[in-house]
């Protein structure tokens, strides 16, 4: 049984996908308890606290994210809610504004949460002293990345005692799956009395469950389009749809949300007749492209782009997430040396036709590049492959030939076109989209929901080829309601262990930097980069202890999430292999030549749980 590698953001993070045959976009979050209060409050104190919270939010940057592991929570005794001074439910305009704010908050983690949606939560309560929505907000939070605290918990933590009797605004119904009901538990224990939901969860096995769980706890839940049907909510609903367009497209079409980006001159050329294209657009537009990459799980180019431009395709100048680079080439007629073959900062996958240049495939593998063969290389099959890897959003930065093929395959959902005020001319100069087989203008594809934005001297036009699917009206029957679990299980990172105990101030600082990382993915990247640049910082006994450290991390993860144990036991009798083609220690390698220690550890844990081996058995000697 081979295990998918994509969703293991870090082997040390040990995500659910390590033992799952296929990835699930459903959220799997650490379980934790929200704060409740033992401090009496008054309306005046509420107003003062809300104003202070608003000042704090205005003073911090939009890139503020929660660190992991989450801070220890203080346990407080619940007191009755103070007398209501106004009614949020009485003002649909305020509801719409606060729901739109929740969508904006959720958007801060775009590109980081894959395979989970973007969740945002805003907790608000009315104040006698002001009618300003900004002053009403007492707490907000968002899911920063896989393996970090959920939005509802973070918002409840920030609101503290002021959450009691307040309203929570959620851009998307929480995805409480596998018995992890942290989101619901956080709102219930914080004393929230009303929840406004922008969209029901797009995945059928989760849709409606969290809403039902909240209602079963006596909380009023209003869903836009069902309980709230005023036109006042049109813009708020649109914001909720846009921020989670990737998961909506993925759920509806079973492919990642795909965006085609190109820059062209005023006469419609993406390069000169010679192929030279540096630069069509201005610096500000190129900065926007870095942002688009940072919001994507993968960036796709064709072989021509690699040969002519030798791109890096990194999200440089944008801290945080780095997308996977994918090169599509049928013949593998690619250069021996290219920036994309440097995988120190970003992972590279080459998709090709089965059997193409096997010798070159081995050379790429030696550089750490993953080669994936397809029986017939085409955009649809590549997108299905990306879907199986759990990708939510893919950015296409290819030339006109591949762009036309992708559009014809109906895998492109949105267009970003940067128009530069230049004219280059040339009969043979390339254009953004090649032949689509259309002979009449009436056959042209009309973009939907088109918008325009001036970026420096350039104009950015964006629009959808296919409308965002709104799946919320389809509500399945609810067979079971997840229970509210108040347990606290902070996320523990083990990435820093390889630097622990080294008598070096730089190593000690590195340990703290890793512990303060914002997500498991970022922590792993810091560790890899520093180990490569400063190998002397790694503890001397790391090679002999890393298996034990990994096993302890696995046991901790499985004890934290009981559903993982159930899934592991379901594999009884099967051989588990970590399907990593390049990691020959933890993975199985391309052709089974790897040591597969991660698979061995999982099988040892399975045997230990089943009681067939003692807990002290070493895996080093197993076959």
Give the residue from 237, 311, 300, 298 showing the smallest Cα distance to 271. 311
**Close Cβ partners of 325 (under 8 Å, ≥ 6 residues apart):** 298, 299, 301, 313, 340, 346, 347, 348, 349
Gap between the Cα atoms of 347 and 345, Å rounded: 7
First and final C-alpha spacing in the chain: 16
Q: Which two tokens stand for residue 14?
A: 């040990």
Partners of 221 in the beta sheet? 195
Q: Are 263 and 398 in contact (CB under 8 A)?
A: no
Give the helix, strand, coil percentages of the chain, each rounded to 5.
35, 15, 50
Q: Are 134 and 109 in contact (CB under 8 A)?
A: no
Q: Are 243 and 106 in contact (CB under 8 A)?
A: yes
3-state SS, one letter per residue, for 147-202: CCCCHHHHHHHHHHHHHCCCEEEEEECCCCCCCCCHHHHHHHHHCCCEEEEEECCC
Gap between the Cα atoms of 497 and 306, Å rounded: 38
DSSP string for residues in 411-456? ---EEEEEE-S-----TT---SS---S--SGGGSPPPEEEEEEEET
Q: Which two tokens stand for residue 421?
A: 């005020």
**What does the CA dihedral 571, 572, 575, 576 come to, rounded to 10 degrees?**
40
| 152 among known catalytic residues | yes
Positive or negative, the Cα torsion across 387, 388, 392, 394? negative
Gap between the Cα atoms of 144 and 110, Å rounded: 9
Q: Which two tokens stand for residue 71?
A: 């801070």
Range 493-524 burial, b when 16+ CB lie within 10 A, else e: bbbbbbbeebeeeebeebbebbeebbbbbbbb
Gap between the Cα atoms of 34 and 191, Å rounded: 10
Spot the catalytic one: 35, 129, 140, 152: 152
Could you say which DSSP state residue 42 is in?
-
Q: 69 preceded by cis ω (within 30°)?
A: yes
Give the residue from 597, 577, 601, 573 showing the smallest Cα distance to 586. 597
Q: How many CB atoms lie within 10 A of CB 454?
A: 9
Gap between the Cα atoms of 102 and 593, Å rounded: 49
- Residues serving a catalytic function are 152
């Amino acid at each position: 049984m081979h295990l998918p590698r994509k969703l293991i953001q870090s082997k040390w993070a040990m995500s659910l996908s390590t033992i799952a045959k296929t990835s699930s976009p459903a959220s799997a979050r650490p379980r934790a308890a929200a704060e409740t209060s033992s401090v009496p409050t008054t309306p005046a104190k509420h107003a003062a606290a809300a104003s202070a919270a608003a000042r704090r939010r205005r003073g911090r940057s939009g890139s503020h994210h929660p660190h992991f592991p989450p801070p220890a929570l203080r346990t407080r005794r619940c007191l009755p809610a103070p007398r209501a001074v106004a009614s949020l439910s009485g003002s649909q305009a305020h509801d719409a504004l606060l729901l739109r704010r929740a969508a904006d908050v959720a958007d801060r983690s775009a590109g980081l949460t894959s395979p989970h949606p973007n969740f945002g939560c805003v907790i608000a309560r009315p104040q006698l002293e002001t009618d300003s929505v900004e002053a009403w907000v007492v707490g907000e939070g968002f899911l920063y990345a896989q393996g970090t605290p959920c939005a509802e918990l973070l918002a409840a933590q920030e609101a503290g005692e002021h959450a009691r009797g307040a309203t929570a605004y959620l851009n998307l119904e929480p995805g409480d799956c596998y018995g992890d009901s942290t989101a619901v538990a956080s709102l219930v224990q914080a004393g929230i009395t009303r929840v406004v939901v922008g969209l029901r969860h797009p995945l059928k096995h989760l849709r409606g469950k969290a809403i039902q769980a909240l209602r079963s706890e006596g909380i009023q839940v209003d869903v836009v389009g069902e309980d709230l049907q005023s036109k006042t909510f049109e813009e708020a609903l649109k914001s909720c749809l846009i921020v989670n367009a990737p998961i909506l497209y993925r759920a509806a079409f079973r492919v990642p949300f795909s965006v085609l980006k190109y820059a062209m001159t005023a006469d419609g050329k993406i390069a000169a007749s010679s192929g030279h294209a540096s630069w069509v657009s201005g610096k500000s537009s190129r900065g926007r492209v870095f942002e688009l990459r940072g919001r994507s799980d993968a960036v796709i180019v064709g072989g021509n782009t690699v040969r002519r431009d030798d791109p890096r395709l990194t999200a440089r100048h944008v801290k945080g997430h780095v997308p996977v680079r994918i090169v599509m080439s049928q013949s593998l007629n690619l250069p021996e040396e290219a920036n994309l073959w440097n995988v120190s900062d970003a992972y590279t996958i080459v998709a090709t036709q089965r059997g193409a240049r096997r010798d070159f495939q081995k050379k790429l593998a030696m550089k750490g590049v993953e080669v994936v063969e397809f029986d017939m290389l085409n955009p649809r099959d590549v997108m299905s492959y990306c879907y199986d890897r759990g990708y939510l959003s893919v950015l296409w930065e290819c030339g006109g030939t591949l762009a036309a093929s992708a559009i014809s395959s109906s895998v492109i959902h949105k267009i970003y076109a940067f128009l530069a005020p230049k004219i280059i001319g040339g009969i043979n100069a390339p254009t953004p989209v090649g032949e689509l087989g259309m002979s009449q203008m009436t056959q042209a594809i009309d973009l939907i929901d088109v918008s325009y934005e001036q970026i420096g001297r350039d104009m950015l036009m964006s629009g959808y080829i296919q409308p965002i699917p709104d799946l919320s009206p389809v509500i399945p029957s609810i067979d079971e309601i997840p229970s509210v679990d108040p347990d606290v299980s902070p996320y523990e990172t083990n990435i820093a262990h390889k630097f622990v105990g080294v008598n070096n101030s730089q190593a000690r600082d590195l340990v703290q930097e890793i512990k303060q990382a914002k997500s498991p993915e970022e922590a792993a990247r810091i560790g890899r980069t520093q180990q490569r640049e400063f190998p002397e910082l790694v503890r001397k006994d790391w090679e002999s202890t890393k298996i034990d450290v990994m096993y302890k991390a696995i046991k901790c993860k499985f004890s934290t999430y009981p559903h993982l144990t159930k899934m592991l036991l379901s594999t009884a009798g099967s051989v588990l292999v970590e399907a990593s083609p390049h990691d020959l220690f933890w993975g199985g390698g391309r052709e089974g030549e790897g040591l597969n220690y991660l698979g061995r550890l999982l099988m040892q844990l399975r045997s230990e749980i089943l009681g067939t081996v003692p807990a002290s058995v070493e895996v080093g000697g197993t076959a």
